[in-house]
Amino acid sequence: MFLTATTALFIFLIGDLLCNLTVFRYMKSYFIEASINQETTIEEKPRFLGLSLSVFKGMLERFFLFTGLHFGFTPVLVVFGALKISTRLDHDQKKQDQ
């Protein structure tokens, strides 16, 4: 069990780092270029462990889902979906209050 968990964690980390260094970086440069063409300002995001905070949060979300599903705890999808919906509703409500 420990060997399986360690192997799964290693595969997750390698895959996520490769995606962050290749695909996500390309997508970010593509969309930043599009937003520069629309003359919008781009603010520098806070960083954590050398990654932007949004990238780090995305890694944590994917890790949470990956480990939950790897160990057969499928209700993790319901919990994750409920958290995403609640934060979206809270964010929308804050925008309406302003």
Cβ-count burial 75-89 (b if 16+ within 10 Å, e if not): ebeeeeeeeeeeeee
pLDDT class of 27 with cuts at 50, 70, 90: confident
Residue ranges making up the domain that contains 43: 2-97
CB 18 within 8 A of CB 49: no
Structural domains of the chain, count: 1
Looking at residues 49-65, what average pLDDT do you find? 78
List % helix, strand, coil for the chain (3-state, nearest 5): 75, 5, 20
Rounded distance between C-alpha atoms, residue 71 and residue 77, angstroms: 13
Q: What is the pLDDT of residues 63-90, one digit of tens each?
A: 888 888 888 888 888 988 888 888 777 7
pLDDT class of 18 with cuts at 50, 70, 90: confident
Looking at residues 12-36, what average pLDDT do you find? 77
pTM for the structure as a whole: 0.61
